[in-house]
Amino acid sequence: MSIVLDRPLTWQQAAAVANGEHLTLSDAAWQRLAQARAIVDAIVEKGILAYGVNTGVGGLANVIVDRPKQQQLSRNIVMSHAVGVGSPLAGAETRAIIAAAINNYAHGHSGVRPAVVGQMLALLAHDCIPEVPSLGSVGYLSHMAHIALVLIGEGFAVHDGQRLTGAEALARIGREPLVLEAKEGLSLVNGSPCVTGLSALVLARAHGLLGWADVAAAMSFENLRSQPVAFDAVSLALRVSDGMQETGSRLRALLEGSAILAAAAGRQTQDPLSLRAVPHVHGAVRDALAGIGLAVDRELASVTDNPAVMGTPQAPQVYSEAHAVAPHIALAMDTAGIAIAELAAMAERRIDRLVNPHVSGLPAFLAADSGVASGFMIAQYTAASLAALNRRLASPASLDGGITSGLQEDHLTHATPAALKALQILDNAEHILAIELIANAQAYDLQQGGHARAPGTEAFYRDIRSALPPYRDDRPLAGDIEVARGILRRGTA
């Protein structure tokens, strides 16, 4: 099934393309591309002063570039902006960026030729993934430049597991290197497609993780014999939050029919906040993600190229602006990082309660033979370490600032770094929740009294136990953590 780009993509569609969905353009989108290119050609023909078309870029914005050198300007922009360092982005991340870039051009205000978009669509269709170093951006530019290299037969790409030069990769999929025309070099590195594409993936992964966080929290709540009155619908309705109501509904469904909780009813007045406040924290994360989703959809619906072209070939208009700066999505990704870090921090607290014999009522550290075996003692260390790392990563990138390009770019929002660290926080959060899931499976095995689990939690317990046997210090626990992470990444709970 293909996604046909006519109107702007949604973040869900961008994430689907990132994960392998086929992308095509409607006839209307192709017409918008052609119309915008005709406007750029008219700007070139008429000699209208336009940033990056017939001028240099950044601190060289006032240097006029004669028409014979405008092709060279486009190529030089790509070459000089390909300055990324570090390990490459994952294939899905690069696909997300390409999808968001195509979406941006399809608004019809960038002026790249349809042939450029056709080349990008071919990369997606053949899963020919440009090698894009992950580091080196203060907001945009460098990541897209490495994608642009492959379009012109330079740089490197991965196809069918092989690392190829750009020229080899294009030949493999039956394409020729492009020769860039005026403005195309700037449009290929400009705008906010990098952060926007990555943000779509952040949202997709965060929603999946949140579902599993509900499951893990419900299992911990049951294993620690907590008081379900904290999740009562009437009580939760006193606080206005769609996310909290949804979380409460999910928790009640997961725990309905639990004989463990029925046997523990009235055991204590109230439970610690890492258990009692799950609807509040998970609900706040849900509400935050809903707002972030709107911000990413607005970014996908926006023109983020500088300059933007409008008018007609007969009366071309060009606007130099700052739409590529993307503070809205930078702030959204900083918020996403904080929200995911809090979700994971609460999970770490529940893990500590599961392994701590002073509060759990379970064998110390969930060990099968306490003393001889350490059980989950050090797995909780790992969770604590990752929660602390998340707190450091959650510091907002959008406040970093900085000055580049000879004072021409003297305020920076660090939008792409904000999205990249949100993805790192997600990686860490997945590991923390994986530990909570397998610790809960172990805790169920060690429960006394023979009381039945809730049907909702029973299904997930069996899912874990179908992949992993009980832990008896008989293998490296790191392997179990990775297996559990694989379970939670395979789909939404």
Domain end residue (candidates: 159, 190, 221): 190
Q: Which amino acid, 258? A: S
Here the tokens at position 253 are 């469904």
Q: Quick one: angle between helices 455-467 and 193-223, nearest 10?
A: 110
Domain end residue (candidates: 160, 190, 220): 190
393, 340 Cβ separation under 8 angstroms: no
pLDDT of the residue at 62 = 73
> Each residue of 290-339: pLDDT tens digit?
999 999 999 999 999 989 999 999 999 999 887 888 889 999 999 999 99
Report the candidate in 115, 174, 187 with the shortest Cα–Cα distance to residue 148. Answer: 187
Cα separation, 222 vs 228, in Å, equals 9
> For the chain, how many structural domains are there in total?
2
Residues 315 and 219 in one domain: yes
pLDDT of the residue at 139 = 65
The set of residues, in sequence order, having a beta carbon less than 8 Å from that of 284 and lying 6+ positions away, is 241, 243, 244, 339, 342
pLDDT category of residue 443 using cuts at 50, 70 and 90: very high
Residues 171 and 224 in one domain: no
Q: What is the mean pLDDT of residues 194-207?
A: 97
Residue 58 belongs to a domain with what CATH number?
Answer: 1.10.275.10
pLDDT of the residue at 409 = 67
Pairing between strand 2-5 and 22-25? parallel
Here the tokens at position 237 are 């309705």
- The 3 state secondary structure assigned to 316-338 is EEEECCCHHHCHHHHHHHHHHHH
pLDDT of the residue at 424 = 98
172 or 50, higher pLDDT? 172
Residues 456 and 363 in one domain: yes
pLDDT category of residue 491 using cuts at 50, 70 and 90: confident
Cα separation, 430 vs 205, in Å, equals 10
pLDDT of the residue at 89 = 96
Here the tokens at position 413 are 């929002």
Residues 368 and 458 in one domain: yes
Residues 273 and 374 in one domain: yes
| Mean pLDDT taken over the chain | 93
136, 46 Cβ separation under 8 angstroms: no
pLDDT of the residue at 267 = 85
Q: Which amino acid, 58? A: G
388, 397 Cβ separation under 8 angstroms: no
Distance of CA 474 to the CA centre of its chain: 36
- Per-position DSSP letters for 1-46, written without gaps between them: -EEEESSPPPHHHHHHHHTT-EEEE-HHHHHHHHHHHHHHHHHHHH
Q: Where are the alpha helices (DSSP H) in 88-133?
A: 91-105, 114-125
245, 283 Cβ separation under 8 angstroms: yes
DSSP state of 301: T
Residues 181 and 209 in one domain: no
Residues 152 and 252 in one domain: no
Domain end residue (candidates: 133, 159, 190): 190
> Each residue of 136-156: pLDDT tens digit?
777 677 899 999 999 999 999
pLDDT category of residue 277 using cuts at 50, 70 and 90: very high
What count of residues does the chain have?
Answer: 493
> Each residue of 99-110: pLDDT tens digit?
999 999 999 999
pLDDT of the residue at 320 = 87
Q: Quick one: angle between helices 242-255 and 278-300, nearest 10?
A: 130
3-state secondary structure of 446: helix
pLDDT of the residue at 362 = 94
Residues 387 and 441 in one domain: yes
Cα separation, 338 vs 346, in Å, equals 12
pLDDT category of residue 274 using cuts at 50, 70 and 90: very high
Cα separation, 411 vs 326, in Å, equals 12
Instruction: Identify any residues that bridge with 129 across adjacent strands, giving them in sequence order.
Output: 158
Residues 127 and 213 in one domain: no
Q: Distance from first CA to last CA of the chain, Å, rounded?
A: 24
pTM of the predicted model as reported, rounded to 2 decimal places: 0.95
Pairing between strand 156-159 and 2-5? unpaired
pLDDT of the residue at 453 = 97
Distance of CA 437 to the CA centre of its chain: 23
pLDDT of the residue at 410 = 61
Residues 244 and 131 in one domain: no
Q: Which amino acid, 326? A: A
Kindly list the distances between the CA atom of residue 35 and the CA atoms of 31, 121, 397, in Å, as whole numbers in the listed order.
6, 19, 37
> Each residue of 220-269: pLDDT tens digit?
999 999 999 999 999 999 999 999 999 999 999 999 999 999 999 888 88
> Each residue of 16-68: pLDDT tens digit?
999 999 999 999 999 999 999 999 999 988 888 888 788 877 767 677 677 87
User: Range of 31's domain?
Assistant: 2-190
The set of residues, in sequence order, having a beta carbon less than 8 Å from that of 208 and lying 6+ positions away, is 488, 489, 491, 492, 493
3-state secondary structure of 250: helix
Whether the CA torsion 366, 370, 373, 378 is positive or negative: it is positive
Residues 182 and 207 in one domain: no
Residue 324 belongs to a domain with what CATH number?
Answer: 1.20.200.10
Q: Which of 51, 140, 444, 461 is catalytic?
A: 51
pLDDT of the residue at 404 = 67
> Each residue of 340-372: pLDDT tens digit?
999 999 999 999 999 999 999 999 999 988 778
pLDDT of the residue at 492 = 79
pLDDT category of residue 405 using cuts at 50, 70 and 90: low
Q: Give yes or no: 51 in active site.
A: yes
Residues 95 and 230 in one domain: no
Q: Exposure of 2 by Cβ count < 10 A (0-12 exposed, 13-18 middle, 19+ buried)? A: exposed
Report the candidate in 475, 72, 493, 491 with the shortest Cα–Cα distance to residue 254. Answer: 493
